[in-house]
Structure 1
């Protein structure tokens, strides 16, 4: 999991909720996002280089600068046996009014949802109610969690509640200039200033065992004091024995991932080249892996067994021109595999050597053993109705895909999964 800057989190939250839950006043914004992507895809087909604005600076074309011996991506979509239609559930909570704004799960059974009656165009409104709900059975039933009265006070920004879950009991609700934190499943909350996040909140943005990348001497999640370089740090303040041997410039495109086997992975992309370092002893020692030209994203399965590089940013779904390349880590070497379908929008790593893949037109499927297979329950990757805005895999290997009409949970091993639509 990447270290998160709260400013970026709020920006990403607005981007995701605009098309996902269609709050009042933001439907047009969602259409504009999709229209821009359609125009951008047409432009990418005719250019020879692509520059993407972001912390890593300029991205070169994926696929350029390879060794010339890479295998030609030739996987062809094949249909898997027909599955039962996915279960569809509407998120309804007794006593709660308003629109569903955010829906997030920490495992297959435990999730949080936020609702409000607020008009995003009416900043500072005094007639606005915000609610929180929790499920412990995969979204079958929901129970309202009573928020402190301060959650319904007028704010000076149009953002709704932002949910930052740590686990099924611990949750941070960011609202306005404060954090509301529960450590008992929503039974009670404590209030904290935005510039003094408690440990629970920092854990929500850190790796599994509490590592993160941030500016030194700055405890805030959203740092307004720039620094030249970030450092690998612990949320509890304990010293990290050794820093990864990489240039962690504050504006570099980098990621921190920790799998279920406790190995730490830090990746930095410099232009068209990505370098990954790994520690299997709690940051006491680091091992630098060969640099790979054309790679843009690091993927690690929840159990930590499988490690991949892909030629796209897997977290944002950024699509680069050219073939969608994949490299698997074999020992200490990266071995290129047959690529993903050319219309891949995003990919994430599940257990058992599986990559979950979404398409630019929505839907999705699996990449496994060098071949892509449609998932009928998702309509296949050419499904009409809009693209997926995010795909991720939870620590228990549950696949989560977010679509313009809600989120989809895929539970089970490998490609043998049951799917549940929640909206």
Structure 2
């Protein structure tokens, strides 16, 4: 039986494009190199039968040479970082995971597990929820769960899917109660983890339950195939992802060794249009939550970005040499992380670092095997960064944001 932690990583990576905050860049690093033949969503329940935005980037990334650090242009450090410790009185263990769905709402996991992977033991787990930006946390009514793999997959403020070795635990009332479901009979909430806001997702027909298939299709959360399929073949050996902005436009990407194919629909998949390819093989689609900014990105050297103007891709601003993670918060901006620590915004005028994050994002916790920083954008436009066991929210618009650290 495959290692469940590996499967959960794949499960999480498949949800990268659904505007969830799963720590996608970290998941991609963990899964990169484990298999050559990939289908990011080889059936919605691939992880289910073998036993889960934003990054707003749908990535097709190979291992890269270590970039060279480049000087950055930074404003005077006038911002302030508010540090919030995530605690729950009377609960044993330490903060193990944190998943925000907006600037105000999120879910936290505390556990006492020792060791790692499927050998985790001595696990007493507690889930908590915040609706005030992490000022206070309320304990959820999570039932006892077995040792081993465990994953938080939030859907929204009130709905959370928890994966365990035994199956799914689901709450739809903010954690007051949970229902239990075997992997063989997943509830609708599981499909919603992957689905676009309008209820579409990629999976194996007819119902998305099959773990593998030669060709994926666009399916509906309510059941069955979507009425109009895109004019591309979604093979199991390509990286396929479907995303949707707040404007209702759908964006389907198919990635392979030759680059990225992008197909879009402005009428919920009734008609589809394939966009022209971009030179130098862009590897990521970055979509702002409002759907207005659409970018193609290449973070391997030589890196570059292209912004969609009508139906044409036009070259965008230069990225720093050491760009590692990238996401689109809107307003013509890109938010990027450095392979050496730090976070900033890329504008038409260059790179502007967020100085209040410079120190925290370059500090390593000895418990972290990979101290690099992931970045995503939540559906409300909040920037979310994770660095080891610390999480950072940038609340506001554009580059004018208040920054909060949670650990």
Contact 2:114 / 2:122 at 8 angstroms: preserved in 1? no
Higher alpha-carbon Rg: 1
Corresponding position of 1:55: 38
Q: Give the superposition deviation at 1:80.
A: 2.0
Aligned length: 359
Task: State whether structure 2 residue 401 is matched by structure 1 residue 417.
Answer: yes
Q: Secondary structure at the match of 1:201?
A: helix
Corresponding position of 2:273: 287
Q: Secondary structure at the match of 1:109?
A: coil
Task: State whether structure 2 residue 308 is matched by structure 1 residue 308.
Answer: no
Corresponding position of 2:48: none
Q: Deviations over 1:164-202 (max 9, x none)?
A: 111000111111121111110011111101122211121
Separation of aligned partners in 1, 2:392 and 2:169 = 27
Q: Give the superposition deviation at 1:6.
A: 9.4
Corresponding position of 1:271: 257
Corresponding position of 1:66: none
Equivalent residue for 1:334, pick from 308, 313, 320: 313
Q: Secondary structure at the match of 2:234?
A: coil
Contact 1:323 / 1:340 at 8 angstroms: preserved in 2? no
What residue ranges of structure 1 are gaps of 5+ in the alignment? 15-29, 38-49, 63-74, 313-319
Separation of aligned partners in 2, 1:163 and 1:260 = 24
Change in 2 beyond 3 A, CA 1:86/1:245 = same
Contact 2:289 / 2:378 at 8 angstroms: preserved in 1? yes
Q: Give the superposition deviation at 1:11.
A: 5.4
Q: Deviations over 1:336-392 (max 9, x none)?
A: 123211100110010211111000012110011252111112118984547534211
Equivalent residue for 1:401, pick from 353, 377, 385: 385
Separation of aligned partners in 2, 1:12 and 1:360 = 25
Corresponding position of 2:175: 186
Contact 1:59 / 1:271 at 8 angstroms: preserved in 2? no
Contact 2:207 / 2:225 at 8 angstroms: preserved in 1? no
Task: State whether structure 2 residue 85 is matched by structure 1 residue 90.
Answer: yes
Contact 1:275 / 1:292 at 8 angstroms: preserved in 2? no
Q: Secondary structure at the match of 1:362?
A: coil
Contact 2:94 / 2:110 at 8 angstroms: preserved in 1? yes
Contact 2:275 / 2:311 at 8 angstroms: preserved in 1? yes
Change in 2 beyond 3 A, CA 1:93/1:51 = closer
Normalised by the size of structure 2, how large is the TM-score?
Answer: 0.80
Separation of aligned partners in 2, 1:368 and 1:54 = 36
Corresponding position of 1:261: 247
Contact 1:310 / 1:324 at 8 angstroms: preserved in 2? yes
Corresponding position of 2:354: 375
Change in 2 beyond 3 A, CA 1:387/1:374 = farther
* Structure with more relative contact order (C-alpha pairs < 8 Å, separation 6 or more): 2
What residue ranges of structure 2 are gaps of 5+ in the alignment? 14-25, 41-59, 65-69, 365-369
Separation of aligned partners in 1, 2:101 and 2:89 = 22
Q: Give the superposition deviation at 1:251.
A: 1.8
Normalised by the size of structure 1, how large is the TM-score?
Answer: 0.77
- 1:209-248 equivalent positions in 2, closer than 5 A: 209-220=198-209, 223-224=210-211, 226-248=212-234
Corresponding position of 1:207: 196
RMSD of equivalent CA atoms: 3.1
Q: Secondary structure at the match of 2:268?
A: coil
